[in-house]
Amino acid sequence: MKLTLKGALTKGAVLLTAGLLLLPIAQADAADVLLSQGKAATSSSIEDSGFEAGRAVDGNTATRWASLEGHDPEWIAIDLGATAAINRVKLTWEAAYGKSYKIQTSLNGTTWTDIFSTTTGNGAIDDLTVSGTGRYVRLYGTARGTAWGYSLWEFQVYGTTGGGDDPQPPTAPTNLTSTGVTSSTVGLSWGASTDNVGVTGYTIYRNGTAVGTTAGTTYTDMGLAASTAYTYTVKASDQAGNMSVASNAVTATTSGGTGGAAVPFGSHVIPYAAGMLKPSGTQATLDQKVVDYYQRWKTAFLKQNCGNGWYQVISPDASHPYVGEAQGYGMVISATMAGADPAAKTIFDGLLKYVLAHPSQYNSDLHAAEQDTSCNSDNGSDSATDADLDIAYGLLLADRQWGSSGTYNYKSLAIRRINAIKASIVNPTTKLLRMGDWSTSGGKHYYISRTSDWMVDHFRAFRKATGDSSWDTVRTAHQNVIASLQSSYAPSTGLLPDFVINTNTSPRPATGEVLESPNDGKYWWNACRVPWRIGADAVTSADAKSLAAARKLNTWVKSKTGGNPSNIGIGYQLNGAQIEAGSDACYFASFAVAAMTDSGSQAWLDALWNKMLVTPIDTSSYYAASVQLQVMIAASHNHWVP
């Protein structure tokens, strides 16, 4: 590290030398070409308006980027516009400097390579000789040198571009259009670009500033002001980092602020507990990845096959074409995506209408879990616990999003279903969930419970909605059994079995087949959701019991796989012995939510997130796709408890 300026500036101080304040920063030696000035820059956060990332690449030492105060890690990244050979990075720090930080490069803005790191930074100017290649360059700070944040007057990157084997840029995207607006979002689509080698992605510009990237030809810009006009263009990039000229410009005006979702997707108005990780990258990029996957999920699984204004989530990999679990997923997802999808309320109401038209034969306020191709209830017309838990939770989300004065009184319907769950599904003796309203006293399944139904954040929401303190008892009962099972049967892994027996005496993993398969007592196709379900409560509440359970799972799987998500297999014995080879999103994605609870698992969380991004959606499995989508919602800090 070469320090060429040293000073004890106070927080927010301005350098007073007239030339330094008013003139652009001097060019480096002739052999160095300044590549970063005026390029698109993004950051993990900003302290306030006026401290945006672009201020660190504007050539003016009177302006600066500043992150949120008191938080690690934070980062700022520059898109150079083309792949470059990078030989020098110059950081002009404000008083709020980084003590421990890395300089990283990336070809795609997702996978990063370290080209410099230090744990002894002391501020002023760091003039670094480096060697690396990439289109994107990032400062990644892991420890602040002060109590404030990270702040740079200038972030300069030097090197050379061009001279590669592929100098030809892609053609410009065509026919950029707005596909719809809400009070806080603008949807965009465009015609694909072409390239002599291949287009790798698109950069979206709002009012001339880069706001996001995508590999597809659609994008939803989120977090916008109501009743405001925005102008967009799009540029394409290829593998060599060549960027096309801009598409045609399109202007879209967001709608008025009334009548929209109260908690629009991407607004992050309900924060997670302090210290919970999220994948690296700008929040806008994380949100967009979720929206992209959601659109593919909708295309593959959301249908209107039986008329009556119904929507259904199809389940090609289940025993019936329509199962209650899928409808519950659909209701939670559609209510959560309100604000990003203008059709969210229509979809939610169509799913709700379908659910209400198919009541359980045992309790009409619960849902019959299985329907045939004609949408007629089948196989006993009884309930499945996880379906009704998610349906009730989705109704609470809908009440918060849109209120209950419209076609459906969401709040009233939610409370009726919550009370029905208490009456027909919660075991009155153990306070643990049964598997459905068909599991009645005296039957062989009465004291059996399914671990993937143990949704502690749902119990919290039910307590708040009803004011019924018995939901506190239910929550505590489930958390105590989780801790007991982890301690007694999976002390080195934290894994839970699909089913737990003897819940009235000494709860333990099922022995042999009690409902579905010989693996009912192992970490199998039900329990694969457990890290997500436990983690969802941990990250939103910081509950000590949920955190402990999630961290135990995370510690084991990170060690077991050597930090490589592709090593997560299909099914495990509770001692950690793998059952099958292969890879499935229910298994690898779920662990991402548990990883968020561990401050030392940023790289592991990033690896899990990137594994999700590069895994094509399986259109034959609503189960894997629906689990991954909900994990992505949670991992991007878009899950919330009503």
Report the distance separating Cα 148 and Cα 230, nearest Å.
33
Cα→Cα distances 523→384, 574, 602, 626, Å: 20, 6, 25, 19
Owner of token pair 């090609």? 316
Rounded (5°) CA angle 439-445-450: 90
Each as own residue / partner, the long-range contacts of residues 353-360 (CB below 8 Å, 24 or more positions apart, any chain) are 353/308, 353/309, 353/310, 353/311, 354/306, 354/308, 354/310, 354/311, 354/312, 354/327, 355/324, 355/327, 355/331, 355/391, 356/413, 357/308, 357/310, 360/437
Map 470-539 to HEC letters: HHHHHHHHHHHHHHHHHHHHCCCCCCCCCEEECCCCCCEECCCCCCCCCCCCCECCCHHHHHHHHHHHHH
State how far the Cα of 426 lies from the Cα of 430, in Å rounded to an integer: 8
Candidate list 52, 58, 74, 325, residue with the active-site label: 325
To the query of whether residue 386 is one of the catalytic residues in this protein, the response is yes
Paired strand residues for 154: 92
Catalytic residue among 386, 437, 537, 598: 386
Question: How many other C-beta atoms lie within 10 A of the C-beta of residue 163?
Answer: 7
Using CB atoms within 10 A of its CB, is residue 133 exposed (0-12), middle (13-18) or buried (19+)? Answer: middle
Q: Other C-beta atoms within 10 Å of 603: how many?
A: 13
Task: Take residue 160 and report the two structure tokens written for it.
Answer: 């050379």
* Measured distance CA(315)–CA(326) in Å, rounded: 7
b/e per residue 610-619 (b: at least 16 CB within 10 A): bbbeebebbe
Torsion 133-134-138-142 (CA) sign: negative
Q: At what angle do helices 283-301 and 324-336 cross, to 10 degrees?
A: 140
- Strand-pair category, 218-221 with 186-191: antiparallel
Catalytic residue at 325?
yes
Q: Is the peptide bond preceding residue 167 cis, with omega within 30 degrees of 0?
A: no
**Burial 207-239, CB ≥16 within 10 A → b, else e:** eeebbbbbeebebbbbbbeeeeebebbbbbbbb
The single residue listed with the structure tokens 């819940």 is 503
Strands 199-206 and 229-238: antiparallel
Identity (one letter) of the amino acid at 535? G
Q: Cα angle at 316 between 311 and 322, to 5 degrees?
A: 40
Where does 403-455 have alpha helices with state H? Answer: 410-424
Helices (H), 337-469: 344-356, 385-402, 410-424, 456-466
Q: What angle do CA 52, 36, 69 make, to 5 degrees?
A: 30
3 state SS of 288? helix
Q: In the chain, how long is the greatest CA-to-CA distance?
A: 87
Residues labelled catalytic:
325, 386
